[in-house]
Structure 1
């Protein structure tokens, strides 16, 4: 039995090492959130078992939790680099499938069609604004893909002004500036929060998807209620603390070695017993 008990410890130490290695590998990934492995003990017992004589049969991975604490905000000076100072996730939609994902990585670019996209072509979701600056279909409705008009007026024509740049203020309002000096408020970015963010499923590329454990997305706009403010010209860096991860790495390595030594000791004892019987 001691073999299997120590084997469970080896497996858990290996999982811990993988989680820590993943954190360290993404210490410079924009919008990355570190994870930590949680463990629980296993006890083989029954109604007729003396509770004072239950040595246990090892441990198991209880879960791998994500830490969504805010990472350091780094100034970049690029107007389409966005950081959320507070709670919330950017909402992204796949341009082909329409699948929605969520991220804290605010590195966006403007396409020739006026769409704001991430590096993988997912479109940033927002709420359109009418001529009076009022939200069209605002929260709690789901946001949509909002295109920035490339010319002003949008339909073009002779003498139409071309798009000069796009800026985003602390409330997430997208402001398009044109070559003739005119400006247009195009839309307001949407942010999503979740009842239980630790239940989000990580799908890579610093994106998450909603699950039954996380609950559905609750949409809002920046700087309203508990939703964070929008900071243009900045990105949120990974919240991984390398010094902390290195200490955890050494601890996980020591646990692995201790369990391996326990297996080696159990093997020697078993070999001694076999030699006595022979």
Structure 2
């Protein structure tokens, strides 16, 4: 009896050594979760019971369970390295075989798919051409590495202040006065406007706009206080130095008026390349092009946020919605799993969203190697969702979750397992001595 008891103890101690050794071997394995050997005693029993004074029959390995407590998060230089801070597993697919892991080694393959270091594809929600995440449809996450197509400018919004203390430029005013004022004088004044001569305008500014091919064009604006008024301005425009305003005779693109409190009240188109907008402060601009791009370049010029106060001319805000073509320059993933692609043209676009999976019983997951687990009957089905929703944790980009093995504890466990092994071997040795004593009786 003692032989079997000691032998079961040796087997248990050996299993404990195997588990502890595996923990130590994987102390540096990203996403690894330590295991522990769990034992139970054994009693021999008959169909009528085990008696009033049962004798133990040894020990058995009842389970090897994994401890899914959080590992330390270490930061790396790779933006596609991912760590989960909290509950959940990454979902990966190998030709349709779905597995789950906490190891966040991810990159892109030659087809642009986000894969781990075994080539398994990371799962998530894709995005449409406009960068909208398609929720609820799990797919292989893929980064579109193609050049981003250009977008022609459709709107320019500009906030500025025109100086209410300004006076009519000298040359402009002289021509107006010489012609006797009135409509004739205004026409004479406008005829002297010259974008290369600062004495013919009060203020100037410019903004870049883009055509359908992604070419950049400089839209320059020149503001001239209209003679005989204190709150009406002539506005001239050029595109890459070529006049958009009429030149024969010379007429501004539009005029803009302000109230006595400095607020814009009206914008009136005058040029053939300008048209009335949907509200005061908005002018439609048509810019003819000859470079092969769609022509004319048509966009709304919005200065509703402009003012006329007694302060220096200043542009405080310029926004335009066009851009040139762009190459993929980098990827970013936020804590909710949104994958952003950044391009060399300064734009960014959502490429998808990483999902996580949770289980009712993580202890029931089946370890399959490569720091991965598979769903089992005991674990229950995977519940998928996006990071930071429900009980799922947050993602940390540019970081990896380290093994949760505590080496000092494992080294102590080695000593304990070794002593257990030796003690059970001593039990067998003692039983052997007793047996030899019986055999030697004469």
TM-score band w.r.t. shorter chain: over 0.9
Describe the shift of the 1:133–1:153 C-alpha distance in structure 2 as closer, same or farther (beyond 3 A): closer
Specify the alignment match of 1:19 in structure 2: 19
> Greater relative contact order: 1 or 2 (C-alpha under 8 angstroms, separation 6 or more)?
1
Specify the alignment match of 2:354 in structure 1: 189
Aligned residues: 270
Max Rg structure: 2
Aligned-partner Cα distance in 2 for 1:49–1:116: 60
Specify the alignment match of 2:105 in structure 1: 107
**Is 2:2–2:428's contact at 8 Å kept on the other side of the alignment?**
yes
User: Could you tell me how far 1:45 is from its partner in structure 2?
Assistant: 2.0
What SS does structure 2 have at the residue aligned with 1:70? coil
Tell me how large the CA RMSD over aligned residues is: 1.8
User: Could you tell me how far 1:48 is from its partner in structure 2?
Assistant: 4.0
What SS does structure 1 have at the residue aligned with 2:56? coil
Aligned-partner Cα distance in 1 for 2:111–2:132: 24
User: Could you tell me how far 1:99 is from its partner in structure 2?
Assistant: 0.5
User: Could you tell me how far 1:63 is from its partner in structure 2?
Assistant: 0.4
Specify the alignment match of 1:144 in structure 2: 139
User: Could you tell me how far 1:122 is from its partner in structure 2?
Assistant: 0.4
User: Could you tell me how far 1:205 is from its partner in structure 2?
Assistant: 1.2
Instruction: Name the TM-score, length of structure 2 as normaliser.
Output: 0.59
**Is 1:151–1:178's contact at 8 Å kept on the other side of the alignment?**
no
**Is 1:42–1:56's contact at 8 Å kept on the other side of the alignment?**
yes
**Structure 1: gaps (5+ residues):** none
**Structure 2: gaps (5+ residues):** 150-212, 215-324
Aligned-partner Cα distance in 2 for 1:84–1:34: 17
Aligned-partner Cα distance in 1 for 2:43–2:132: 60
What SS does structure 1 have at the residue aligned with 2:440? helix
User: Could you tell me how far 1:225 is from its partner in structure 2?
Assistant: 1.7
Aligned-partner Cα distance in 2 for 1:134–1:153: 16
Aligned-partner Cα distance in 2 for 1:123–1:246: 37
Deviations 1:11-42, CA, capped at 9 Å, x for gaps: 01000000000000000110000000101111
Task: Write out aligned runs for 1:1-278 (5 A).
Answer: 1-46=1-46, 48-49=48-49, 51-94=51-94, 97-130=95-128, 134-138=132-136, 143-153=138-148, 160-276=325-441, 278=442
Aligned-partner Cα distance in 2 for 1:180–1:112: 23
**Is 1:36–1:66's contact at 8 Å kept on the other side of the alignment?**
yes
Aligned-partner Cα distance in 1 for 2:393–2:147: 31
Deviations 1:79-126, CA, capped at 9 Å, x for gaps: 1111111000000001xx310111101111122321111111001001
Single out whichever of 176-185 and 65-74 deviates more from structure 2: 176-185
Single out whichever of 46-55 and 212-221 deviates more from structure 2: 46-55
Deviations 1:37-68, CA, capped at 9 Å, x for gaps: 10111111235456332111111111000000
Aligned-partner Cα distance in 2 for 1:123–1:47: 55
Aligned-partner Cα distance in 2 for 1:50–1:24: 40
